[in-house]
Structure formats: C-alpha cells, structure tokens
Amino acid sequence: MSEQPPIMISQTDVDRIERLLETAAQEGAAGVTALEQELERARVVPSAEMPPNVVTMNSRVRFREVASSKPFELTLVYPRDVDPDGTTVSILAPVGSALLGLSEGDEIEWPKPAGGTLRVRIEEILYQPERAGEHHR
C-alpha cells in the first residue's frame, strides 16, 4: 500500500469517535483498530478552524476511481446512520476510516470487498457540516 496522506480531524469528531470506539471495542466490532490508528496519526483542530476541503463526519464526498475515471459519491457516517441504499459508509468500515480527514485532491488505495485495492481521488467535498456552520452537529 502506498504512503498515506496527512489527515486533519476536528476535535468534535475525535470526541465522538472515541466514545464510539469504547462501545465498539466492547462489542467486538470490526474496524476499531484501523480507526484508532487513523486518530493517532491525525492533526486535531477545533471544529471552527476546520478547512472547508477536508472530509469530516457527515461530509458528502465525490470521488473518482483513478484507473477508470468512474465518479461516485458517499457520505461518511456513524454506524447507526448507515443507509442500505449504498450512499453512506460507516466510519468503522475500512473505506470509512481511510476517508476521514482526507482533503480534496488526495489519492488513496481502498481495500475492495473481494480483495485487492482500488485507487481513488477525492474530487470534491460536496457538503461538510463545519463549512455549513454546524460545528456541534
């Protein structure tokens, strides 16, 4: 896997994710370790200082698969908010924890469910709560 780009996470998201991790670890949920590793490497900033081009919780993001140029959109959510229609991704999923804190223009390799990886580029943050003034969502 290639080198990971630097990430930035809001203090509000860190506080909520840490509470989620406590519960998820007790329940034996998958994805806890990967998310803990992402939090450890993140630069944490106050929500009001979050740049508008960074993926935060509840952000809607447009991606592009690098190999095929195929675009797609996902919203990063907490597990309780996952919608079965495929438009959301849980922060506890490998793709979700990899997405948190990335910026527009970043490229990462995501694990594919059937194995292997998929290289994607963050094209645009279509909606970010902090940018919309929702610092305590």
* Tens digit of each residue's pLDDT, the chain (137 residues): 457 888 999 999 999 999 999 888 777 777 888 899 889 999 999 999 999 999 999 999 999 999 999 999 999 999 999 999 989 999 998 889 989 999 999 998 887 778 888 899 999 999 999 998 876 55
pTM over 0.85: yes
Res 1: pLDDT: 45
Separation of alpha carbons 128 and 126, rounded Å: 7
Tokens describing residue 47: 């929500």
Predicted local confidence at residue 134, as pLDDT:
78
For residue 78, the tally of other CB atoms under 10 A from its CB is 16
Q: What is the pLDDT of residue 47?
A: 92
Give the position of tokens 């896997």: 1
| Contact present, 127 and 47 (Cβ < 8 Å) | no
Q: Specify the DSSP class assigned to residue 115.
A: S
Cα separation, 58 vs 74, whole angstroms = 10
- Sketch the domain layout of the chain as residue ranges: 8-127
Say what the pLDDT of residue 106 is: 96
Q: Residue 34's pLDDT is what?
A: 84
- State the pLDDT at residue 55: 97
CATH number among 3.40.1280.10, 3.30.56.10, 3.30.70.1350, 3.10.50.30, domain 8-127: 3.10.50.30
Is residue 128 within 8 Å of residue 113, measured between CB atoms? no
- The single-letter DSSP state of residue 48 is G
